[in-house]
Amino acid sequence: MQQSKTIFQLSRAGNRAAAFPKCDVPEQPLDKLFPYNQLAAASPPLPELSEVDVVRHYTRLADKNMSVDANFYPLGSCTMKYNPKRNERLAALSCFTGLHPNQPADTVQGQLRILYELQQMLAEISGLPAVSLQPAAGAHGELTSLLIAGKFLTEKFGVGKKTTVLIPDCAHGTNPASAAVAGFKTVEVKSTAAGQTDLDDLRSKLNDTVAVLMITNPNTLGLFEKNIKEICEMVHAVGGLVYNDGANMNAICGIVRPGDFGADMMHFNVHKTFSTPHGGGGPGAGPIAVKQELAPYLPIPLVGKTKGGKYVLTTDCPKTIGKVRTFAGSIGVLNRAYFYLRTLGAKGLKEMSENAVLNANYLLALLKDYIEVPAGERCMHEFVASANKLKTDKGITTMDIAKRLIDYGYHPPTIYFPLIVKEAIMIEPTETETKETLDTFAKTLIEILTEDQATLHDSPQTTKISRPNEVTAAKTPVLAEK
């Protein structure tokens, strides 16, 4: 029987991974040498195990995971593409991992050059010239940008004038959350039946109090907002700013630029679009790009380059909103994004997006006769199917399909999101998957739809736990066997 004990339950006093030679100098208690060292005085209890038991424990845990390295992971909205190992190898080089964030800039010129060039690349991809690499995730990029917008708009229009953030009804939950944390009131904008922002509804909600429209383009239904230029003009006409949630950049890199279609600021999710690892709570990175007028408000430090070609960390920015993250950001993650971009180059990056869109449309074509896809003639890098009709006709729900896919070794797609589609199943294959993987996945999903209801309701059947109460499992998980 494979153990599911915690590493502490496996601990036996005296077990060790390594035996050190007997100490041949007098022992010095750490707290005497370093009286300020509180750690030594109250060291935490640590598990005691042999090396092989530690390795087996973590390998067993890793085996229980669904991961992009082991399973097709078509998680809509979150772009779970394969992370090339080359980038892991480069990021792990000791010339990067051995740096200390407090080292003087003179001694870390290579690392600063990487960050500087990454800023330039993101500016180029976004069409927005000023970049900060600091935010630690997409949601953090949203918050940082809204704080910048708040400060800029207050200086321009006065205190308490720009109070509202408009957010389409298909938006990611982080958008209204970030707006609320930044102190704005949020107002929802409706989508049309065709899955586009409803211009009439938008018009009715635009007024002088509007600070920002947060829009995701391509949107969360996997569709390009056809009226995006007009939408941006409408918001600008009332003195508002347009924020582009960049989580869906995988569909448009090298093809269209948010800055060109009218966005004033945006974030990148490098852990989605540029294949840095994600899941399990981080670390991630959510760099932001803004138009020139907003550049003075960016958080510090910024990575700059002097006329003499030296890379520097700039903190002399009188209008900055301040610091949003320790040091210069999630460097290990940003380095991976840099290596990814340098490996692909401009042409490769465009092909990345073209293939992401091609793969999604291929899968859509394979599936749409078997499961409804509202507004799904064509899609960008993802599409949103609906089990609503299957539920009425056959009693099969989105939850059943998602859970059954686990039995066949697939990570379920994103489900019940966006909220405006009933029984939503949001599928994003990404460009890293082969035609064979997509064919087999489609075949499996179509077969699942013909299985009997009882089998589906009882799935997954191959996992240790079948259907936990989702809320309890998230809020009070039981992580070990008693």
Ligand X SMILES: *Cc1c(COP(=O)(O)O)cnc(C)c1O
Positions that interact with ligand X (CB under 6 A): 77-78, 137-139, 172, 174, 216, 220, 245, 247, 269, 284, 286
Q: Closest by alpha carbon to 216, among 279, 263, 184, 283?
A: 263
Residue type, 347: K
How near is the Cβ of 284 to ligand X at its closest, in Å?
A: 5
Residue nearest to ligand X (CB): 138
Q: Which is nearer to ligand X, 251 or 448 (CB)?
A: 251
Q: Which two tokens stand for residue 195?
A: 């899955």
Smallest separation (angstroms) from ligand X to the CB of 267:
8
Q: The tokens of 93 are what?
A: 């080089």
Q: Closest distance between ligand X and the C-beta of residue 269, in Å? A: 5
Q: Which amino acid is at 41?
A: A
Please identify, using beta-carbon distances, which residue of 121 and 170 lies nearer to ligand X: 170
List the one residue out of 298, 312, 294, 258 whose CA is nearest residue 123.
258
Q: State the alpha helices, DSSP H only, in 127-215.
A: 138-157, 174-181, 199-205
Q: Residue 63 is inside which H or E element, if any?
A: helix 51-64
Beta carbon nearer to ligand X, 111 or 220: 220
Tokens of 102: 């407090």
Quick one: 139 or 385, whose CB is closer to ligand X?
139
C-beta closer to ligand X: residue 245 or 423: 245
Q: How far is the CB of 159 from ligand X (least distance, A)?
A: 29
Is 174 or 353 the residue whose CB approaches ligand X more closely? Answer: 174
The structure tokens listed for 115 are 């960050």
Whole-angstrom distance, CA of residue 288 vs CA of residue 286: 6
Closer residue to ligand X (CB): 127 or 418: 418
Q: Which residues on neighbouring strands pair with residue 167, listed in sequence order? A: 188
Least distance from C-beta 355 to ligand X, angstroms?
20
Beta-bridged to residue 330, according to DSSP, are none
**CB of 171: closest distance to ligand X in angstroms?**
7
In Å, the largest CA–CA distance within the chain is 82
Q: At what angle do helices 398-407 and 435-448 cross, to 10 degrees?
A: 120
The nearest distance, CB 376 to ligand X, in angstroms, is 18
